[in-house]
């Protein structure tokens, strides 16, 4: 007989923290979420999965799938969240505490026919995490971590950010009745993201440094002040973010794709998605692990260099620079977690140039989907992985698009006007982008002028 939903005993009550390096276990962490013994990062783990009291590999998989599917028709607040719907594999809040939710998750899976063609694969899909409430993937982790902040009684939450974490944190803090402090690099985040954190009422500090400098300041600050840290070193963020992969697998009827490709910045997202894949395999919800590949911008490539120059043994921080400001990060906190999942799933780590990234972004836009620059490194990286033979043309691939196209409209406008790379070392290579550029046309307000323009387009055979 198939197990039913009532056979499922939630493992959540037995979730604990464990250091990824020395294995030290704890029920709660210090302010900086680092192991007191060795200083490395904590992760959430579920001892219940290995005991008779919780989920066991293989056993209740069908019942769990059914339970999660059934919740899609429920109107209960936790069920309408695309994160808390999967609460059997998340840490539990104490009785009496409700999650702070904006109905995050529940994001679409699109096919990308034009992009598939340009990448050289038969079928390509994108899981669009930019379709979250604050328009980036950060919301899925923020609903969990901000809920734990409130449960712990914190009045203030804080993060260092390249823009999306801060937008998301500001929104969830406001919803949860907490104050938020944002540290961002001055002049290096998009206006859309900055305006979000202002709108949601955060105390927003533009520090005269880069993202890595903001992290350094914040790490010291949380040791001095009673502030809850909401960067992705916070393992409760990783738990929420992992649901993107669970939802993806559900959308694919629990048939694993061959490849999942993610952009890599601070490397929390790759760690989260990889953790979900390993857990879903462990629990018997999937039988095969997709290969998880991480793509960085050439100008912000410390993880790529760690893998290719130091065999993943160490990571040398770099001075980061890329127009994809979301991933302008030189010292990624979660690199060891990401390394583990890339190695375990057999994925690859690649880097792409600014021109390759800009072209890929326009191609994703031309498929009617759109994304912010950092997300587009996935398609650019996929093209390389296909050329290298790592991804075969008949294999199934899912790109994780992390942010919405409206997050950074300045990049898109400059791209189409043709001045994105003006005055930069990439200017000489920018000619290859011309076929994709669609500068807005300024015309006289006559039917003739518009009709003539249409005819010109038709005659030139432009797409
Ligand atoms: N894509 C977007 C749109 C991002 O905002 C980020 C990270 C990433 C990819 C990389 O994800 O850091 O988990 O590897 N943004 C952070 C922020 C750093 O502050 O918003 P990651």
pLDDT, residue 2, reads 39
Say yes or no to pLDDT of 230 above 70: yes
- Best probe residue, ligand 1, of 107, 193, 265 (max atoms within 8 Å of C-beta): 265
Does 123 or 10 have the greater pLDDT score? 123
In the structure, what pLDDT confidence band is assigned to residue 436 with cuts at 50, 70 and 90? very high
Element (H, E) at 198: helix 191-199
pLDDT, residue 126, reads 98
Q: Are 160 and 221 in contact (CB under 8 A)?
A: no
Distance between CA atoms of residues 85 and 67, nearest Å: 9
User: What Rg, from alpha-carbon coordinates, does the chain have?
Assistant: 22
Q: Which residues pair with 136 in a beta bridge?
A: 403
pLDDT, residue 47, reads 85
In the structure, what pLDDT confidence band is assigned to residue 94 with cuts at 50, 70 and 90? very high
SS3 396: coil
Residue in this structure with the two tokens 């980061």, named with its chain if needed = 320
- The whole-chain average pLDDT of the chain stands at 94
CB of 266 closer than 6 angstroms to any ligand 1 atom = yes
Quick one: average pLDDT of 76-82?
96
In the structure, what pLDDT confidence band is assigned to residue 55 with cuts at 50, 70 and 90? low
pTM: 0.95
Say yes or no to pLDDT of 58 above 50: no
Give the number of other Cβ atoms within 10 Å of residue 4's Cβ: 12
pLDDT tens, position by position, 277-324: 999 998 999 999 999 999 999 999 999 999 999 999 999 999 999 999
Nearest CA to ligand 1 atom 19: 161
CA torsion 215-219-225-230 (nearest 10°) is 60
Quick one: average pLDDT of 97-124?
98
Quick one: average pLDDT of 198-208?
98
Give the number of other Cβ atoms within 10 Å of residue 152's Cβ: 10
pLDDT, residue 418, reads 96
Quick one: average pLDDT of 430-455?
95
CB of 130 closer than 6 angstroms to any ligand 1 atom = no
Q: Are 100 and 143 in contact (CB under 8 A)?
A: yes
CB of 99 closer than 6 angstroms to any ligand 1 atom = no
Q: Are 305 and 186 in contact (CB under 8 A)?
A: no
Question: Got the DSSP string for 402-450?
Answer: -B-GGG-HHHHHHHHHT-TTTTSTTGGGGGGGGGG--PPPP--SSHHHH
Can you read off the two tokens belonging to residue 128?
Answer: 């669009």
Distance between CA atoms of residues 386 and 295, nearest Å: 13
In the structure, what pLDDT confidence band is assigned to residue 438 with cuts at 50, 70 and 90? very high
Question: Got the DSSP string for 262-297?
Answer: EE-SSSHHHHHHHHHHHHHHHTTS-SSPPEEEEEEE
pLDDT, residue 463, reads 61
Can you read off the two tokens belonging to residue 251?
Answer: 């959308």
pLDDT, residue 28, reads 87
pLDDT tens, position by position, 338-396: 999 999 999 999 999 999 999 999 999 999 999 999 999 999 999 999 999 999 999 99
pLDDT tens, position by position, 152-169: 999 999 999 999 999 999
CB of 118 closer than 6 angstroms to any ligand 1 atom = no
Distance between CA atoms of residues 103 and 144, nearest Å: 12
In the structure, what pLDDT confidence band is assigned to residue 329 with cuts at 50, 70 and 90? very high
Distance between CA atoms of residues 385 and 396, nearest Å: 13
Q: Are 436 and 361 in contact (CB under 8 A)?
A: no
Quick one: average pLDDT of 43-48?
88
């Amino acid at each position: 007989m198939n197990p039913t939903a009532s056979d499922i005993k939630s493992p959540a009550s037995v979730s604990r923290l464990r250091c990824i390096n020395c294995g030290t276990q704890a029920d709660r962490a210090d302010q900086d979420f680092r192991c007191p013994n060795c200083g490395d990062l904590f992760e959430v783990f579920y001892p219940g999965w290995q005991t008779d009291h919780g989920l066991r590999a293989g056993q209740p998989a069908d019942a769990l799938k059914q339970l999660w599917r059934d919740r899609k028709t429920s109107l209960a607040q936790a069920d309408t969240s695309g994160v808390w719907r999967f609460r059997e594999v998340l840490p539990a809040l104490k009785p009496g505490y409700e999650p702070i939710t904006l109905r995050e998750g529940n994001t679409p899976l699109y096919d990308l026919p034009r992009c598939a063609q340009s990448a050289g694969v038969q079928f390509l899909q994108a899981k669009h995490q930019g379709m979250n409430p604050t328009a980036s993937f950060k919301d899925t982790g923020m609903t969990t971590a901000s809920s734990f902040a409130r449960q712990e009684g914190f009045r203030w939450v804080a993060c260092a950010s390249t823009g999306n974490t801060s937008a998301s944190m500001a929104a969830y803090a406001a919803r949860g009745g907490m104050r938020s402090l944002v540290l961002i690099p001055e002049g290096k985040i998009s206006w859309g993201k900055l305006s979000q954190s202002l709108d949601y009422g955060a105390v927003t500090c533009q520090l005269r440094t880069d993202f890595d400098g903001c992290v350094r300041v914040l790490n010291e600050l949380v040791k001095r002040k009673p502030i809850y840290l909401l960067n992705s070193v916070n393992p409760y963020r990783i738990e929420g973010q992992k649901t993107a992969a669970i939802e993806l697998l559900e959308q694919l009827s629990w048939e694993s794709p061959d490849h999942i490709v993610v952009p890599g910045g601070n490397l929390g997202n790759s760690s989260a998605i990889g953790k979900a894949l390993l857990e879903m395999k462990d629990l018997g919800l999937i039988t095969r692990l997709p290969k998880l590949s991480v793509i960085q911008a050439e100008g912000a490539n410390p993880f790529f260099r760690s893998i290719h120059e130091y065999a993943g043994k160490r990571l040398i921080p770099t001075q980061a620079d890329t127009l994809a400001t979301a991933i302008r990060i030189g010292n990624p906190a979660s690199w060891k977690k990401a390394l583990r999942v890339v190695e375990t799933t057999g994925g690859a780590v690649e880097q792409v140039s600014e021109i390759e990234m800009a072209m890929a972004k326009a191609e994703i836009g031309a498929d009617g989907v759109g994304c912010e620059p950092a997300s587009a490194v996935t398609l650019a990286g996929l093209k390389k992985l296909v050329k290298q033979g790592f991804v075969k043309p008949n294999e199934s691939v899912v790109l994780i698009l992390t942010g919405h196209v409206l997050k950074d409209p300045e990049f898109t406008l400059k791209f189409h006007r043709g001045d994105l790379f003006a005055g930069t070392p990439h200017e000489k290579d920018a000619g290859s982008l011309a076929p994709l550029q669609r500068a807005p046309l300024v015309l006289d307000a006559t039917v003739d002028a518009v009709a003539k323009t249409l005819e010109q387009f038709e005659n030139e055979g432009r797409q």
